[in-house]
């Protein structure tokens, strides 16, 4: 019988929340949905920051996707600093195709152009978040950053992941674990 991921110390399907003292400006006050975390490393998508001024119609045009009657428009998120030209769609698991990674809690990940075509024409998943780039860590790197008080983690839920209130996601994620932000310190304590 497989052990639950939490028991193994891995954070797949969880929210990674930047501590208030995060020094890396790319991750200040970010919330990251963890798509994968295992002994080989970790990968997640920032869910509360947008990419500059690129719009969904502009992205479709760059990809050569012609859609006569676009039913939905997506905001494009900054998924992280790694491979920023690569797109990922984090979405509800009511949509799957070859290459879709079923993560946890009704959330899946697809990184193909086909899902963009489906969304643009009004199909695809009922909930989705389009991100360029991702946050990635090598073996043990994320664990070290957590131990150094860089990150907190909380159970994920679709309301935080897919909500359009980007500014409120960080505080809502912190609230999920009952932490008073004013009491957090960037210093590790030793007994």
* Total-model pTM: 0.87
- What secondary structure letter does DSSP report for 48? S
Q: Look-up: residue for tokens 């009657």?
A: 69
pLDDT at 133: 96
Does 66 or 5 have the greater pLDDT score? 66
Backbone angles phi, psi at 157, to 5 degrees: -145, 155
CA separation for the pair 66, 32 (Å, rounded): 31
pLDDT digits 0-9 by tens, 141-162 = 999 999 999 999 999 999 999 9
Name the pLDDT band for 66 (thresholds 50, 70, 90). confident
Domains, in order of start, for the chain: 13-182 (3.40.1740.10)
Q: Is 92 helix (H, G, I), strand (E, B) or coil?
A: strand
Q: Is the pLDDT of residue 183 over 70?
A: no
pLDDT tens across 69-99, in order? 566 678 899 999 999 889 999 999 999 999 8
């Amino acid at each position: 019988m497989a052990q639950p991921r939490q028991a193994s110390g891995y954070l797949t399907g969880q929210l990674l929340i930047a501590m208030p003292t995060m020094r890396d400006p790319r991750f200040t006050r970010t919330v990251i949905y963890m798509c994968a975390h295992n002994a080989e490393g970790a990968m997640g998508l920032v869910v509360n920051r947008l990419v500059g001024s690129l719009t969904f119609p502009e992205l479709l045009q760059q990809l050569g996707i012609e859609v006569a009657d676009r039913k939905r428009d997506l905001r494009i998120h900054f998924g992280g600093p790694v491979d920023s030209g690569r797109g990922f769609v984090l979405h509800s698991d009511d949509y799957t195709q070859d290459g879709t990674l079923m993560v946890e809690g009704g959330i899946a990940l697809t990184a193909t152009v086909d899902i963009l075509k489906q969304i643009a024409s009004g199909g695809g998943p009922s909930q989705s978040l389009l991100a360029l780039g991702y946050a990635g860590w090598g073996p043990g790197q994320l664990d070290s950053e957590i131990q150094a008080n860089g990150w907190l983690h909380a159970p994920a839920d679709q309301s935080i992941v897919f909500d359009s209130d980007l500014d409120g996601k960080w505080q809502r994620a912190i609230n999920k674990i009952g932490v008073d932000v004013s009491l957090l310190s960037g210093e590790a304590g030793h007994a």
